[in-house]
Structure 1
């Protein structure tokens, strides 16, 4: 179905090719998973299949890519639209219409399908992806995960022969991800659709794949084969595979079910050992906020001001005092958005040095809570206090000394033309020593040249740059919305290391995440939201082990013992 013949792609002014001498075949009617570290060219490879590379992105394509017999060099993306459906890392870039139902119909209308066919397929897709209740909703009002499902649905309705998906589950909660992957399985098995998918959250998808293509790195030939064979040599691997390699299981398990069948001996070895507890730190003073440099009108100030919904009253009229042991406090908070209570009666206290994971299905209110803590939304009722201030109503130039937000869309924080310029601006905004931001970028994202434009980075690389920009100011309260979206396992491990250092220094970290493995590895405490209400608030081990949806793979494999990560097991052994 898809054939690569000696394919190389080189972008203008790049130091080397993004892809080099690629020669492989993707068979018809299979789900093929593309894996590899961030920045090795996975998105570029996917773009060559849809024709976006080089017709839209620019650069030079050498060799030949054919899809269903069509050469993508001579067929532009619109001439491949009836054969290839594409969903990139950023669903917002795909939307053309304003509402969910219109977006699902748009692709079919462009292809000239009959109205009765369009209506039937829209209804089928709404049901398949759990979008029926959202059919009339404006896309602008949806959560990131809901938008992801709409983007996937919009390419399913034309019934393409090939689906090209870049990080399709990255913004989805575990249950929604399972639903989407089940739909893809059905398309592959029942309709013979070919699915080529790049994904970093391998724990969700590797056991669904028929084949895996590993791109190890620049200048290295791809490794193609059965999932278990490729995972045995892959530098990126899910926890179930890492645990299997640690325990010496052969063949390697790819699913929790397979691993549980082999884990009885391992459970016996661990029976007399207690898993280490990741307990919350004792209350301690929060670090002193860093003053803003210059006139204090940095990029984060601009972000707060641009997203603010209503005029802000004077800061002095709303300031509140909090105890020294609190970084932030939320009391009986309710936030109403578009006549819907996005949050209801939330009470939460955040202490210095504490890392809290906010979890819950898409649309549960996680991003709304972060937006309220950073002053982008006004409480309908209840109170919010951050560093002794009420966020909504405080001058953003003052507030950014207390709280920093990394949003789901990292481009909201990135305005300069190069990585070096972004870092220099971040140092000035935070009144930090020159080179502070660049050192963080190097720690999170080794090997990115100073002259690279942020738009030329992968989604995960852009996120790492945005994280570095916000971390340069070292605010006492750090809010991260889906911080591992687009990050491979190595990049995620580096992020965990940076965040642990900040927590040890007294910073409070709040993560809104669907990444259960991140929560298990990093969070002292987990708060689970459902329909705007807090349904769980407790230590990580207690909160996630008792939840089938939010338990990490190791916990499911070794249950009822409370092991959460491969690192814990390795240390015990």
Structure 2
């Protein structure tokens, strides 16, 4: 159905091809997973299938890509639209209408389908993706995960024979991700749809793949094989595979079920060892039941925060003078937020202490982003109060507020406004009053290999996220807010992020992560706060909250239950305390 014949793509101005030597076939009615580290060209390979590369992106494509017998060099994207449905990493760039129902119908209208066919398919898709209650909602009022489901639904309604999906579950909560993947599996098995999908969260998708096409590194040809074969040699792999490698299991398990069946000996080895709860602060790292009231005895000096670039004018700030911090970095009392007649938050009570990392979790639309936006002053409470020290966010002048809180939003491009990585870093250093090179050093730590002259728009979604994170971290704000910080990040990049966050927490910075990434929460969070329908339904130590949740428990917790192990790194430390991790970051 999809055939790559010695395909290479070189973008204008690039010294080397982004991808080269791509030569494999995706058979009809199979789901093939495209895997590999960030920046190796996965999105370019997907774009070549839909014709976006090179007709829209520019550059030179050598070799040949055919889809259902059509050569993408001679067929532009509109000439492939009836056969290929594409969802990119950024759902907002996908939409052309105002409401959910209109967006689901638009593709069929473009193809000239009959109204009765359109109506039936819209209803089917609303039910398939759990969007029925949102059919009349303006797309701009949806959460990022809800927008992702609408984007997927809009390409399903025309019934294409090929689906090309770039990070389709990156913004979805675990339950919603399972629903979407179950729909894709039904399309593959029942209707013979061919799916080519790139995804970094392999723990979610590896068990659904018929084959895996691995892009090992820049310019290297892909490795094609069964999931078990490819995971045995892949530089990126999910926690279940990492645990199998650690335990020496062969063949490697790909699902929690398979791993549990083989984990008896490992559980006996670990029996009697102290479970190690994930901690960001060194003094607490070996204590499994840290309470939220625990604080550092001597909080560090608090530094100013950068100006949020989309919402506030750039303002140069200087480090704040040493102050005596309050017991809490932030206090939220009886907070409620109503927007467009929708109650997004209801009576939220929350305290955030210096040095604490909190994972804010819950299904799409639960109110996580609204809470973060309230903490940074972008949303005015309908009732209740928020205090950042002595400041009330929505009533505080921007030049004062930026000294207290920094936000990395879901869309990293909102923070990027210059033409090169070097210029972005220089601007961030100036905004934060930091030494020249501070931001660039953070970029190198989070995502090595990105050159100074690269334009931010030429970065992958994960690379843009890393750059935006570095911009905010340059000022090292006392309260750091991150909204889905691991979207588009591979396991190694995520491990580098974990190290940065642990370092910041160790210095006394409070961190709140709104995330669907249960593995990240297990690795770095002291506390998990679960939201549902705008209300807090659980708040406690990470091990206590996630282990009892079938949706939010990490893979290791499910495999080794009832023991309270959360990550492979904890298991490795217990089994081999004198030996460092040979593959740092691969299982975070």
Question: Same fold by TM-score, threshold 0.5 exceeded?
Answer: yes
CA displacement, residues 102-125 of structure 1 (integer Å, 9 cap, x when unaligned):
000000000000000000000000
Q: Give 1:161-560 correspondences, 5 Å limit.
A: 161-277=161-277, 278=279, 279=290, 281-284=294-297, 286-291=299-304, 299-300=307-308, 302-305=309-312, 324-560=326-562
Which residue is equivalent to 2:74? Answer: 74
Q: Provide the TM-score with structure 1 as the length reference.
A: 0.95
* Cα distance in 1 between the residues matched to 2:297 and 2:106: 55
**Partners of 2:429 and 2:15 in 1: how far apart?**
27
Matches within 5 A, 1:8-87: 8-87=8-87
TM-score in terms of structure 2 length: 0.93
Whether the 8 Å contact between 2:325 and 2:389 is mirrored in structure 1 is: no
Aligned-residue offset at 1:324: 1.9
TM-aligned CA deviation for residue 249 of structure 1: 0.9
CA distance, structure 1, for counterparts of residue 247 and residue 51 of structure 2: 44
Identify which range, 20-29 or 92-101, moves more after superposition. 20-29
Q: 1:445 to 1:323 in 2, by over 3 A?
A: closer
User: Corresponding residue for 1:160?
Assistant: 160
* Equivalent position SS for 1:392: helix
Residue 15 of structure 1: CA displacement?
A: 2.5
Shift of 1:340: 1.5
Q: Which residue of 2 aligns with 1:569?
A: 571
Partner of residue 142, structure 1: 142
Contact preservation (8 Å) 2:19, 2:220: no
Distance 1:335 1:369 in 2: 9
Whole-angstrom CA distance in 2 between matches of 1:385 and 1:299: 19
Residue 439 of structure 2 aligns to a residue in which SS? helix
Which runs of structure 2 are paired with 1:116-127 in the superposition (5 Å)? 116-127=116-127
* Residues in 2 aligned to 1:227 and 1:5: alpha-carbon distance in whole angstroms: 22
CA distance in 2, matches of 1:387, 1:15: 51
Contact 1:284 1:506 in 2 (8 A): no
8 Å Cα contact 2:356/2:526 also seen in 1: yes
Decide whether the 8 Å contact of 1:283 with 1:325 is kept in 2.
Answer: no
Specify whether residues 93 and 322 from structure 1 end up closer, same or farther in structure 2 by C-alpha distance, changes over 3 A only: farther
For 1:57 and 1:31, how far apart are their aligned partners in 2? 26
Residue 474 of structure 1 and its aligned partner are, at CA, apart by: 0.6
Q: Any gaps of 5 or more consecutive residues in structure 1?
A: 293-297, 307-320
Quote the offset at 1:286 in angstroms.
Answer: 4.5
Q: CA deviation at 1:218?
A: 1.9
Aligned-residue offset at 1:338: 1.2
Residue 396 (structure 1) shift: 1.0
Greater mean deviation of Cα atoms: 246-255 or 517-526 = 246-255
In the alignment, the residues of structure 2 paired with residue 305 and residue 101 of structure 1 have an alpha-carbon distance, to the nearest angstrom, of 34
CA distance in 1, matches of 2:48, 2:222: 16
What are the superposed Cα offsets for residues 54-92 of structure 1, whole Å, 9 maximum, x if unpaired?
A: 011111111110000000011000000000000000000
2:579 corresponds in structure 1 to none
1:507-542 Cα offsets, whole Å, 9 max, x none, are 000000000000000000000000000000000000
CA distance in 1, matches of 2:164, 2:395: 45
Partner of 1:313: none
Distance in 1 between residues matched to 2:300 and 2:424, nearest whole Å = 25
Q: Deviations over 1:271-328 (max 9, x none)?
A: 1112123336524455434347xxxxx652x43348xxxxxxxxxxxxxx99722100
Shift of residue 269 of structure 1? 1.1
| In 1, Cα distance between equivalents of 2:396 and 2:184 | 47
